[in-house]
Amino acid sequence: MKGVRILSTEFKSEGETIRGNFVIPRGEGPFPGICKFHGLPGGPDQVGGIATKLAEAGFVVLTFDFRGFRRSDGLFSLAGEIKDAKAAITHLLDSDLTIQSWSGVYGASYGGAVAVCVLAEDERVDALCLRAPVYDTLWFAQSPMIRPSVELIIETDPTQIRGIQDPEIQERIFQRMLEDSKVHNPMNEISKISPRPLLIVHGTDDVGIPLAGVKRLYELAVEPKALVVVEGADHNLTDPRAYEITMSTIVEWFLKQMPPA
């Protein structure tokens, strides 16, 4: 990756070790910092894509695996991810790499739901960008697509989610997801992001997260807010043109949120 360097890092969340990386721009820091929250399960490469694009634009990005995913300890839960996200923000702000006056969060898919729930009560972050967010965690937990998606992960790469091959652990994860979603739901929290700026980016071809639901989430948000719908973008941004439009939209928006020097 040209123009950026990768520094491995880890931090604690409720006693669990959360492992990740800082993606760092070239030049002398400190830099404005952004936390990146991945989806469920998110890709194994958490430093490429938007993290690298943002770093090339001058942001240091903390990207990490939530508990129960890939390199991090523990077992997945929504409530646990919310604790991890708060710990990640602390880790970012405590780093010598970052300036203290501004920070942002980027949340994709399920990480978008986590981001809304966290920032509704954590005022340390100054701007929030959501891409293809899970707009309603209760709807998602009850969705018939959950179990087939988990079965596909087990068949293709079970190392993505810790314990997922154990039927008892799997059922515990499903039940906890449902219980947590009754307490932590972005539909109930999105209005609390204001007065901080909010950007939601979604694709017309996302069959997993309906655009109509994302629009409902956006309608509940309070200004300042923006919704960008990218023509031809599916959930994983497999179309190169839609990918580039999405990336540039997010980077340009974050640059505009920076306070004047």
CATH number of the domain within which 191 lies: 3.40.50.1820
pLDDT for position 259: 81
**Tokens of residue 225, six digits:** 């807010």
pLDDT for position 239: 98
Q: Is the pLDDT at 126 greater than 60, yes or no?
A: yes
Tell me the C-alpha to C-alpha distance, in Å, between residue 135 and each of 148, 161, 213: 20, 22, 6
Q: pLDDT over 70 for what percent of the chain? A: 99
3-state helix, strand, coil in the chain (%, to 5): 40, 25, 35
Which tens digit of pLDDT belongs to each residue from 239-259? 999 999 999 999 999 999 988
Say what the pTM is.
0.96
Q: Residue 157 falls within a domain, yes or no?
A: no
Average pLDDT over residues 183-209: 97
Q: Residue 209 falls within a domain, yes or no?
A: yes
Q: Is the pLDDT at 128 greater than 60, yes or no?
A: yes
When divided into structural domains, the chain yields a total of 1
pLDDT for position 2: 64
Q: Residue 14 falls within a domain, yes or no?
A: yes
Average pLDDT over residues 6-34: 96
**Tokens of residue 154, six digits:** 């087990």
Residue 155: CA atoms inside 13 Å, Cβ hemisphere, count? Answer: 6
Average pLDDT over residues 72-78: 96
Q: Residue 95 falls within a domain, yes or no?
A: yes
Q: Residue 171 falls within a domain, yes or no?
A: no
Q: How far apart are CA 125 and CA 35, in angstroms?
A: 9
Which tens digit of pLDDT belongs to each residue from 45-70? 999 999 999 999 999 999 999 999 99
Strand-pairing partners, residue 130, are 107, 200
pLDDT for position 208: 92
Q: Is the pLDDT at 1 greater than 60, yes or no?
A: no
Q: Residue 236 falls within a domain, yes or no?
A: yes
Q: Residue 170 falls within a domain, yes or no?
A: no
Q: How far apart are CA 182 and CA 74, in angstroms?
A: 22
Average pLDDT over residues 98-121: 97
Q: pLDDT over 90 for what percent of the chain? A: 88
Q: Which residues touch 61 (CB under 8 Å, ≥6 apart)? A: 22, 23, 33, 34, 35, 36, 51, 54, 55, 106
Q: Which residues touch 206 (CB under 8 Å, ≥6 apart)? A: 132, 233, 234, 235
Q: Which residue has the tokens 């939530």?
A: 66
pLDDT for position 261: 65
- For the chain, the average pLDDT equals 95
Range of the domain at 96: 4-135+186-256
Average pLDDT over residues 19-41: 96
Q: Residue 43 falls within a domain, yes or no?
A: yes
